């Protein structure tokens, strides 16, 4: 009971009730709260507490918010939650072997969700594991991945295996969550048990990247030598190579204007002038010109004609510059290159 003219005293709430009040207030204000990062039991307790509460008076709300802000102001240092957060902070300060041991230890702890890590892994790393797993396991992995990443992985698999996995996905509806979690833990353990790699990419990608910027004559001589030594490896390298002549087959027409904006026009003219009259190369020039405005295309044609003959070194350097721009756009996600079909 309060005296006339006096504001009522705020209610005394438990810590769990205060947390529920703060979460409800922030959601009402439109804040995006990453509650999914909390352990499952904490999410459940929070939801149950919010379900048990009804009205909170203004004085109590103001007092809880003021206390919350005071606690935030008093924080001097915060540590990341979980092993992954710690490893992110410690990246570059501890060895890969120590990081792997910590991940394995965290992987077998109760309540750990392995899919948080697995869904963040790059497609090539996941693909290397999926190719060795049973179709049913691969289907579970596909089902847990974001749709875009799952589609990317499916497109990189051989046709028959991709179809079998796609069919197996339809049979995953009745798998219980604990089984899915154990599958994730097993895959993580397999990934973490792999020895540290000195290189970020595989040998095919490294050789392909080197040959991409090598002179055409050198590139062909090396490929012929590889074919004599290991025809299978040579074929994979050929597929990894992306040069001027591959642009029409690998670049969607709608992305050509983006590439043109990234390249100095003088270099573009030099590349086109060098390509003139050369089978394969000349087709790329026409592909580019046919997918930009007519006015710009006509201007480039006139500049190419006026430029005349271009030396091999200058022409190949200009082409490599354009290829580099395409790779940058691909890395940023602005350009999605067409994947060549397996023969």
Rounded CA gap, 3 and 157, in Å? 76
The mean pLDDT value for 64-76 works out to 90
Among 97-111, 232-246, 294-308, the range of highest mean pLDDT: 294-308
5: left (phi over 0), alpha (psi -120 to 50) or beta: left
How far, CA to CA in Å, does 227 sit from each of 34, 202, 214, 233? Answer: 53, 18, 18, 8
Q: What is the pLDDT of residue 266?
A: 95
Helix or strand or coil: residue 314?
A: helix
Rounded CA gap, 244 and 323, in Å? 7
Domain spans of the chain? 15-74, 96-192, 242-332
Residue 10 contacts residue 62 (beta carbons within 8 Å): yes
The mean pLDDT value for 6-13 works out to 71
Residue 108 contacts residue 185 (beta carbons within 8 Å): yes
Q: What is the pLDDT of residue 3?
A: 47
- Which stretches of 167-282 are assigned E, i.e. beta strand? none
Task: Look up the pTM and report it.
Answer: 0.46
Please name the residues in contact with 192: beta carbons below 8 A apart, sequence gap of 6 or more. Answer: 100, 103, 104, 107
Rounded CA gap, 57 and 20, in Å? 14
**Fold agreement (96-192, 242-332):** yes
Q: Report the interhelical angle of 294-307 vs 281-289 (nearest 10°).
A: 140
CATH architecture of 96-192: Orthogonal Bundle (1.10)
Q: Chain-centre distance of CA 321, in angstroms?
A: 25
Q: What is the pLDDT of residue 79?
A: 78
What share of the chain in percent tops pLDDT 90? Answer: 38
Q: What is the pLDDT of residue 155?
A: 84
Per CATH, domain 242-332 is 1.10.220.30: yes
The mean pLDDT value for 230-247 works out to 86
Residue 188 contacts residue 105 (beta carbons within 8 Å): no
Q: What is the pLDDT of residue 9?
A: 62
Q: What is the pLDDT of residue 1?
A: 44
Q: What is the pLDDT of residue 205?
A: 81
The mean pLDDT value for 298-320 works out to 93
């Amino acid at each position: 009971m309060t005296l006339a003219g006096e504001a009522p005293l705020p209610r005394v709430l438990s810590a769990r009730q205060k947390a529920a009040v703060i979460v409800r207030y922030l959601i009402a204000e439109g804040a995006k709260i990453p509650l999914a990062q909390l352990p499952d039991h904490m999410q459940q307790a929070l939801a149950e507490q919010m379900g048990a509460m009804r009205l909170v008076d203004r004085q109590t709300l103001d007092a809880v918010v003021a206390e919350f802000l005071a606690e935030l102001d008093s924080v001097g240092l915060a540590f990341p939650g979980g092993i992954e957060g710690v490893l992110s902070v410690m990246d570059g300060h501890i060895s890969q072997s120590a990081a792997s041991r910590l991940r394995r230890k965290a992987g077998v702890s109760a309540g750990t969700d392995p899919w948080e890590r697995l869904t963040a892994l790059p497609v090539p790393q996941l693909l290397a594991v999926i190719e060795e797993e049973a179709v049913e396991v691969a289907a579970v992995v596909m089902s847990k991945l974001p749709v875009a990443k799952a589609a990317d992985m499916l497109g990189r698999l051989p046709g028959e295996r991709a179809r079998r996995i796609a069919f197996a996905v339809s049979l995953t509806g009745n798998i219980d969550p604990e089984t899915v979690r154990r599958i994730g833990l097993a895959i993580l353990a397999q990934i973490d048990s792999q020895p540290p790699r000195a290189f970020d990419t595989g040998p095919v990608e490294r050789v392909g990247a080197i040959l991409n910027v090598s002179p055409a004559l050198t590139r062909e001589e090396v490929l012929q030598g590889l074919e004599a030594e290991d025809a299978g490896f040579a074929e994979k390298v050929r597929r990894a190579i992306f040069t001027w002549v591959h642009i029409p087959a690998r670049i969607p027409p709608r992305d050509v204007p983006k590439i043109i904006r990234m390249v100095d026009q003088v270099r573009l003219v030099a590349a086109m002038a060098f390509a003139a009259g050369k089978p394969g190369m000349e087709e790329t020039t026409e592909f580019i010109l046919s997918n930009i405005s007519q006015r710009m295309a006509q201007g480039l044609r006139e500049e190419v004609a006026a430029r005349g003959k271009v030396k091999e070194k200058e022409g190949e350097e200009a082409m490599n510059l354009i290829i580099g721009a395409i790779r940058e756009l691909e890395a940023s996600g602005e350009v999605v290159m067409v994947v060549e079909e397996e023969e």
